[in-house]
Structure 1
Amino acid sequence: MHLNRCVKISESLQTDFYGARCYVRCVKRMAWIIWVFTTVVAGLFTLLVFQRMSYPFFWKDLIYYLKFLKVGKALKSRIQKGIITYLDCFVYQAKKTPDKPFIVFERQTLTYQDVDKRSNQFANVFRTEGGLKSGNHVALLMSNEPDFICVWFGLSKLGCEVAFLNFNTKSKSLLHCFESCGAKSVIVGADLVRSLGELLPTLKEKAIEVWVTDVSCPYEGVNTLLDKLEQVSGLPLPDYPRPELMSNFLFIFTSGTTGLPKAARVGHLKAVMCMAFLQLCGGRPDDNIYITLPLYHMTASLLGIGGCIQLGATCVLKKKFSAHQFWKDCVKYNVTVFQYVGELCRYLVNQPVVPEEKAHNVRIAAGSGLRPDVWREFARRFGKINIREAYGLTEASVGFVNYTNEIGPIGRASYFNKLNMSFDFLSVDPQTYEPIRTVSGRCVRANKGESGLLVCSVSAMNPFLGYAGNERQSERKLLRDVFKEGDVYFNTGDLMSQDQRDFVYFRDRIGDTFRWKGENVATTEVSEILGNLDFLMEVNVYGVSVPGYEGRAGMAAVVLKPEQTLDGKKLYSHLDQSLPAYSWPWFLRIQTSIEVTETFKQQKRKLVQEGFSPEVVRDPLYLLDRSQRDYVPLTPSLHGDIISGKIRL
């Protein structure tokens, strides 16, 4: 009995000992798990802190990159289905959402199916009445209206290559445009036919056929379109041509801020890539996208109309931009996205306050050329609008989008962005602005923080098709043997800088930047600083030649705000605090308005040519007077003293 009890006690002790060992083992295991967990958490936290400090935009870069890949995957999938070109995408969308409003214009609303049918009718008229066929070059001279799009698509359905003409172009330049793109026909809007009046005999001599989008025309030899439209079928063409993706689609003319416009060839691939822009900016199928920019420009036609097609969204088309009507239209048409370019936003912030500027549903403003001073005021005044400042070119497929909330940059040059496209910033000679080359003949990359020339690699997926009728200008845009023998890069002509956080800033166009006192002056930087003054509404900075001096002295054409006067002393003090002395404008020219192109790019050429002579310039002129720390009226006597050297700048 005692023995049994001892056995039981022994067994009990063994069980307790075994249990204790198991408990100890469990405690150790739990401690190890807790240690691993806390180590991992601490490591992740440390990594997160390091990422936030060293790479604060990592996740935004990655998300944008994944979005870009998604768009690329969708494009590849469409191509595999035979939906290859810009026009294919439209026809596909018209079949997918036939009754969805596509174009809202004044009191008209055209669905995707309406535009598809009307473009088929135009195509049939052009083929049966005009004998147009695949490969023909046709110029389009029309204002913003639905038939611009219907005529364009109709011509494209015949396989014609369409040239968009700027309707502000005058006779000599207009004739140059016809000749450079090789157009044998021109389609003119009913409201613009009179602008061709003096050119009609010349066009007739050159056997260029003229069509007008009207039922009648006062000019002899001009064909009418609308009277023939209802007599033809709106069914799709049975022999719709299938162009290659790498072939030419359009001719879009550069703005011509200096010299005559150049007809840039825009390939089908480039056009299809442009369609993704609004989607990358955050656009959705339920958006109403407000387009006030001219359709002959790439921003409105390829990025805007193309962006609507890509999304299956609705375009609210305006004949012409009106700052007074802008926010009223946004409320009236429930606008959720709008496009801007150049100074458009500056015009808006200079308008009087209206109730509609806070009552709208605009989510996104997408465009380019928004100066930081205007950007800040726009964001403060008009509510929570995501501004998507971007950069792009008509001629090549390099581009940036600022998808962050950082004010000022045009985009980012992060690791992920460089996976999307091949671009670089090159060091340039400060006087000639030619890329600096080493002894071996290779170009040098600009350091971070330095201004450099933006170039992008020319390849099968990023071709440069050149300018029509101007092989010399086409070749001048190419840089060869840049980093290795045989490579070819497109020269954008734009100076950029990349900061330590990988943000990219537009600095200036080559030609706008000038050199004074041995230093380079960026006109955009000076304009931005002057634009912060409360009595200035608009600023256009440029350089002018002064006899006896190398380089060019700074000059600024300015527009004063209503009921404001020039405060020279305040301007001097502002410059003294904000800019190095060599970049101060020596001369001021007070204007009632700044002359701009139709896409709001400031005109400088005429201002540069007129210089600072009171005998040539009729606007009030002022001279920087350092002794008085002020700007004083520039009289003929003072001008004479500068020319003679009596007054030294």
Structure 2
Amino acid sequence: MVKPAKAALYATVGGISTAVAAVPVFYPQIRQDLKFMWKYQGPMSRFRRYTSAQPPVSLVDRFLHQVQLQPDKPFVLFEDQLYTYKDVDVMSNKVANFFHGDGLTCGDTVAMLVYNEPAFIWTFLGLAKLGVKIALLNTNLRNKSLLHCFKAAEAKVLIIGVTVWMQGDNPALHGLRSLDDKINQTSDQPIPFKLRENVLVNDTLCYIYTSGTTGHDGRAGMAAIVVHPGHLPNMWEWYAHLSSRLPGYARPLFLRLTQHLTHTTTFKQTKAELIKEGFDPNVVTDRLYFRDDSKKTYVPLDSEVYKTIAVGKAKL
């Protein structure tokens, strides 16, 4: 006869074993997540060590450390061009010395309108060596949108990449200067740490702009689904599918059923018009749905429901 205490122990062990065995069934990604969390500890430990140091270790400090360790190692590969850590350090010193001589100091903001090219890297690092904040403007912005982003960052200077500012042989407009020749002639002497010594851990390094959805409907999370004419997806199944595959923050609050999505020449989906139209049934002719967690499905979005959402009566 098994004693009560021993029986309770067996039951407990059996229950734990069953629970452990059932975890992969209900949580099939647990091994990947645990593996990621284990690997995550190293970077987080280094991050805490860097930020708690006095003075804190910055991105610039880490870059300069790598320059000392491996100056001749390739750092930037662009088309048929190769730049080593030392090359980028020299160019970033030129940028920093030029703008320091031009009056920029720690805490100022500079806006950059530059494509992905080597000059972007050393200009960014050069400004960071001065403790200057960088506003990274989207290169597709024009007119009022561009002006708004520039003013919002309170930038003192706007740097335009040569591939963005294609003016040919025309003279520069009033207030614009060509920097390439001036920066190339500037000293490449290392930048004293004292020029950025007032930068703290919580200070801004750069401003990164979103695709233009901040403060607009599209920011709430909308996904477009291509459906064939006459076909209507099962919204219960879609809700279950998205809930099982995506974390909560990534699940779209709104779904738009459309018959086609246009693409760019590089085969990227063009989402600008979708973002602009948002999920207003008075504007969008496609079928619209919103996520109803109480019903575990996506329900149709009509004008009346949209009004209650817009005024905050309906909670999403």
Q: TM-score, length-normalised on structure 1?
A: 0.33
- SS of 2:251's partner is strand
Match status 1:596 vs 2:268: no
- SS of 1:109's partner is strand
Match status 1:257 vs 2:219: no
Contact preservation (8 Å) 2:56, 2:201: no
Contact preservation (8 Å) 2:105, 2:195: no
Q: Distance in 2 between matches of 1:145 and 1:62?
A: 37
Q: Show CA shifts across 1:90-127 (max 9, x none).
A: 22222222222111111111112211111111011111
- Change in Cα spacing, 1:168 to 1:58, as seen in structure 2 (3 Å) is closer
Please identify the structure whose Cα radius of gyration is greater: 1
| Partner AA of 1:508 in structure 2 | P
Match status 1:115 vs 2:69: no
Q: CA deviation at 1:66?
A: 2.3
Q: Distance in 2 between matches of 1:58 and 1:508?
A: 23
Q: How many residues align?
A: 247
Larger helix proportion of the pair: 2
Match status 1:225 vs 2:225: no
- SS of 1:138's partner is strand
Contact preservation (8 Å) 2:67, 2:89: yes
- Change in Cα spacing, 1:45 to 1:101, as seen in structure 2 (3 Å) is farther
- Change in Cα spacing, 1:75 to 1:594, as seen in structure 2 (3 Å) is closer
Q: Distance in 2 between matches of 1:235 and 1:65?
A: 42
Aligned to 2:141: 169
| Partner AA of 2:135 in structure 1 | A
Unpaired segments of 5 or more residues in structure 1? 1-39, 196-213, 261-368, 372-449, 452-496, 514-522, 524-540, 542-554, 562-592, 613-620, 623-649
Aligned to 2:106: 134
Match status 1:98 vs 2:74: no
Aligned to 2:125: 153
Matches within 5 A, 1:140-539: 140-193=112-165, 218-238=172-192, 239-242=194-197, 243-257=199-213, 504=247, 506-509=250-253, 513=254, 523=255
Aligned to 2:277: 605
| Partner AA of 2:62 in structure 1 | C
Contact preservation (8 Å) 1:51, 1:58: no
| Partner AA of 1:144 in structure 2 | N
- Change in Cα spacing, 1:504 to 1:146, as seen in structure 2 (3 Å) is same
Q: Distance in 2 between matches of 1:151 and 1:143?
A: 12
Q: Distance in 2 between matches of 1:560 and 1:61?
A: 35
- SS of 1:227's partner is helix
Higher RCO (C-alpha under 8 Å, 6+ residues apart): 2
- Change in Cα spacing, 1:183 to 1:92, as seen in structure 2 (3 Å) is same
Aligned to 1:527: none
- Change in Cα spacing, 1:145 to 1:215, as seen in structure 2 (3 Å) is farther
Q: Distance in 2 between matches of 1:216 and 1:234?
A: 30
Q: Distance in 1 between matches of 2:177 and 2:262?
A: 48
Unpaired segments of 5 or more residues in structure 2? 1-9, 217-222, 226-238, 288-316
Contact preservation (8 Å) 2:134, 2:205: yes
Aligned to 1:556: 258
- Change in Cα spacing, 1:108 to 1:83, as seen in structure 2 (3 Å) is farther
Q: Distance in 1 between matches of 2:20 and 2:34?
A: 13
Q: CA deviation at 1:63?
A: 2.9
Contact preservation (8 Å) 1:102, 1:112: yes
- SS of 1:558's partner is coil
Q: CA deviation at 1:132?
A: 1.0
Match status 1:53 vs 2:53: no
- SS of 1:122's partner is helix
| Partner AA of 1:556 in structure 2 | T
Q: Distance in 2 between matches of 1:215 and 1:82?
A: 47
Larger strand proportion of the pair: 1
Q: CA deviation at 1:611?
A: 3.9
Q: CA deviation at 1:255?
A: 1.2
| Partner AA of 2:251 in structure 1 | R
Contact preservation (8 Å) 1:216, 1:224: no
Q: Distance in 1 between matches of 2:140 and 2:116?
A: 13
Q: Show CA shifts across 1:423-470 (max 9, x none).
A: xxxxxxxxxxxxxxxxxxxxxxxxxxx99xxxxxxxxxxxxxxxxxxx
Aligned to 2:219: none
Q: TM-score, length-normalised on structure 2?
A: 0.65
Contact preservation (8 Å) 1:140, 1:165: yes
Q: Show CA shifts across 1:366-415 (max 9, x none).
A: xxx9x9xxxxxxxxxxxxxxxxxxxxxxxxxxxxxxxxxxxxxxxxxxxx
- SS of 2:190's partner is coil
Q: CA deviation at 1:145?
A: 0.5
Percent identity reads 30
